Amino acid sequence: MRAATAREMREIDRIAINEYGIPGAVLMENAGGAVVRYLESIINPLADQRFCIFAGKGNNGGDGYVIARHLANQGAKVKVFLLGEKAAITGDARINLDILDKMNMDVIEVVSERDWDKVRVAATFADCLIDALLGTGFRGDVTGDMARMIDLIHAAGKLVVAVDIPSGVNADTGKICGKAVRASHTVTLGLPKPGLFLYPGADYTGELTVADIGIPTAIVAGQKIKQNILMAAAVRAILPQRSPDAHKGMNGRVALVAGSRGLSGAAAMAAAAALRAGAGLVTLAVPAEIQDILAVKLTEVMTRALAETASGTISQKALGEIASLTKDSDVLAIGPGLGRHEDTVAAVREIVKTAECPLVIDADALYALANYTGILTECAALPVLTPHPGEMGLLTGLSAEEVNGDRVQIARQAAGEWGSIVVLKGAHTVVAFPDGEVYINTTGNAGMATGGTGDALTGIIAAFVGQGMSSHDAAVAGVYIHGLAGDIAAQAGMVGMAATDLIKAMPAALYGMKNY
């Protein structure tokens, strides 16, 4: 499902109005009507229910006036509070404000302290509060009276339904700009916005519904919108179909170069995840001194010993062995637990440049690419990088919080510069492609914030490439299924789940995707 930035949504509205001739007031009527239909689905009957509608000065507020009219017509008790003066209201919002006046509906301008008292009392006795303060026209930060109004909405402790976007949430990034409405439900209009799926904004959105407001689909198609919300249907369509007469040679030969002294677990989890994601044959190449450990940990996975440094990390002397391994493999995942020894780092750079099969590059292999991202364009196939925000910061020179401040744009820019697929892990994971397309994942939970889940994702994506998926599809499906497995594992307890629980849940996640 496409997700429009605020600017893209405003452009779509503009085209609908100015080029297709759909009056803005019709779009607004459709918007308000859609919100009321949603309200009916959660509060039934609407009659006699008490609603407080908080309207801003723009068209988001205009939606609020339409909502007020429809609610009143259904017998609900409605109070409308305008944060501003009626004289400042123009356009479609003004049309609907005037209709309320003609209906003798009370629209209270919140300007004096007495008005604030009225707001407080009304919110206290209301059954549901409607946030029609700010939508795609929101700029800057929430301060002053807008912040005061949001505090008051929260203080009432009532059901809150946000119109289009919870006011104060940045529609594009999900950032909270000063203060934002914590909605129980959000009815977003026309298309979803990325910020409703990106934290912390996703946390303020509540139950999300996308409302059709009658915008011709051709307008959306013509906008070349490049943000996508990753949903089950899209993933189900690309997962590999296993033929009934399959044999292990048909389901992918996955190679992994991973692990080092004290970091055998990362290698084990990546390899186990590849297996549990359906790979036919998995070979794990590790520094010689930990081969026995891995051989004991992993029954189905074949292990290989690699030449190592005195520190127990792979050395450049292993390059020949690794080259022959990649020749016989469909994909190579490299990085989990590799360590950052200079000899290892040099080996990783050589492997990235010369490997003859598609690469999934993670963890310490990403560390080796810091200041060397230029070599990614030499890869034989489109590589998949799976950085967490810290590793992304290492590769871009940004801090982790700067990365998280604009996850979509930063991942998109890196993918374009590096000619690679960038899987920027986190809540929610973002998958960015060199052509600018970005997918925002919708599965996963906070229980996955535990060591090893990143290693598992590497193994899963590698397994999907090994089973014949394009790197594009393997990255998208891998991220979704990884999160789904995490959601399944969390059913036995979100806090305290371990990465190995997620890995064990992989077959159930795959089964579920194909069977409902």
Stretch that binds K ion, among 146-154, 165-173, 193-201, 375-383 (CB under 5 A): 165-173
The least distance separating ligand LP7C6HRI from the CB of residue 158, rounded to whole angstroms, comes to: 21
Q: How large is the greatest C-alpha to C-alpha distance in the chain, in angstroms?
A: 85
The least distance separating ligand LP7C6HRI from the CB of residue 175, rounded to whole angstroms, comes to: 13
Q: Does 27 bind ligand LP7C6HRI (CB under 6 A)?
A: yes
Closest to ligand LP7C6HRI by CB, 152 or 461: 152
The least distance separating ligand LP7C6HRI from the CB of residue 203, rounded to whole angstroms, comes to: 20
User: Per-residue contact track with K ion, 99 to 138, x per CB under 5 A?
Assistant: --------------------------------x-------
Residue 495's contacts (CB-CB under 8 Å, 6 or more residues apart) are 446, 447
Amino acid in the structure at residue 91: G
How many degrees, rounded to 5, is the angle at CA 337 between CA 335 and CA 339? 90
Q: Does 87 bind ligand LP7C6HRI (CB under 6 A)?
A: no
> What does the alpha-carbon distance between residue 142 and residue 132 come to, in Å, rounded to a whole number?
14
Tokens 């992993």, residue?
A: 298
Closest to K ion by CB, 167 or 453: 167
* φ/ψ (deg, to 5) at 284: -110, 115
334, HSE (Cβ side, Cα atoms, 13 Å):
32
Q: Does 140 bind ligand LP7C6HRI (CB under 6 A)?
A: yes
Q: Does 167 bind K ion (CB under 5 A)?
A: yes
Closest to ligand LP7C6HRI by CB, 138 or 197: 138
How many degrees, rounded to 5, is the angle at CA 177 between CA 174 and CA 178? 145
Instruction: Tell me if 427 is assigned to a ligand binding site.
Output: yes
> What does the alpha-carbon distance between residue 189 and residue 480 come to, in Å, rounded to a whole number?
25
Among 80, 89, 97, 163, binds K ion (CB under 5 A): 163
> What does the alpha-carbon distance between residue 294 and residue 9 come to, in Å, rounded to a whole number?
52
Partner from ligand LP7C6HRI, K ion, none contacting 339, C-beta within 5 to 8 A by type: none
The least distance separating K ion from the CB of residue 166, rounded to whole angstroms, comes to: 6
Count of positions (residues) in the chain: 516
Partner from K ion, ligand LP7C6HRI, none contacting 287, C-beta within 5 to 8 A by type: none
Q: Does 142 bind ligand LP7C6HRI (CB under 6 A)?
A: yes
Closest to ligand LP7C6HRI by CB, 60 or 453: 60
> What does the alpha-carbon distance between residue 353 and residue 348 come to, in Å, rounded to a whole number?
9
Amino acid in the structure at residue 141: D
Q: Does 67 bind ligand LP7C6HRI (CB under 6 A)?
A: no
Annotate 65-110 with DSSP letters as a single string.
Answer: HHHHHHHHHTT-EEEEEESS-GGG--HHHHHHHHHHHHTT--EEE-
Element (H, E) at 421: strand 421-424
Closest of 398, 368, 402 to residue 385, by C-alpha? 368
Q: Does 205 bind K ion (CB under 5 A)?
A: no
Partner from K ion, ligand LP7C6HRI, none contacting 167, C-beta within 5 to 8 A by type: K ion
Among 3, 4, 31, 78, binds ligand LP7C6HRI (CB under 6 A): 31
> What does the alpha-carbon distance between residue 483 and residue 333 come to, in Å, rounded to a whole number?
19
Radius of gyration for the alpha carbons in the chain, expressed in angstroms and rounded: 26
Q: Does 136 bind ligand LP7C6HRI (CB under 6 A)?
A: yes
> What does the alpha-carbon distance between residue 49 and residue 365 come to, in Å, rounded to a whole number?
59
The least distance separating ligand LP7C6HRI from the CB of residue 5, rounded to whole angstroms, comes to: 12
First-to-final CA distance of the chain? 19
Q: Does 134 bind ligand LP7C6HRI (CB under 6 A)?
A: yes
Closest to K ion by CB, 167 or 309: 167
If one counts every other C-beta atom within 10 angstroms of the C-beta of residue 276, the result is 25
Q: Does 183 bind K ion (CB under 5 A)?
A: no
Instruction: Tell me if 168 is assigned to a ligand binding site.
Output: no
Closest to ligand LP7C6HRI by CB, 6 or 229: 6
Q: Does 5 bind ligand LP7C6HRI (CB under 6 A)?
A: no
> What does the alpha-carbon distance between residue 327 and residue 347 come to, in Å, rounded to a whole number?
17
Closest to K ion by CB, 167 or 329: 167
DSSP 225: -
- Cβ 500 vs Cβ 452: under 8 Å: yes
184, HSE (Cβ side, Cα atoms, 13 Å):
15
Query: Torsion angle of alpha carbons 464, 232, 498, 383, nearest 10°?
Result: 30
Stretch that binds K ion, among 162-170, 183-191, 394-402, 428-436 (CB under 5 A): 162-170
Query: Torsion angle of alpha carbons 6, 11, 16, 20, nearest 10°?
Result: -170
Closest to K ion by CB, 29 or 63: 63
The least distance separating ligand LP7C6HRI from the CB of residue 27, rounded to whole angstroms, comes to: 4
The least distance separating ligand LP7C6HRI from the CB of residue 137, rounded to whole angstroms, comes to: 2
Q: Which residues are annotated as a binding site?
A: 59-63, 131, 135-141, 164, 167, 266, 337, 388, 425-429, 454-455
Q: Which residues are annotated as a binding site for K(+)?
A: 60, 131, 167
Binding residues for ligand LP7C6HRI, per CB under 6 A? Answer: 13, 17, 24, 27-28, 31, 56-61, 63, 92, 134-142, 146, 163-164, 189, 213
Binding residues for K ion, per CB under 5 A? Answer: 131, 162-163, 167
Q: Which residues are annotated as a binding site for AMP?
A: 425-429, 454
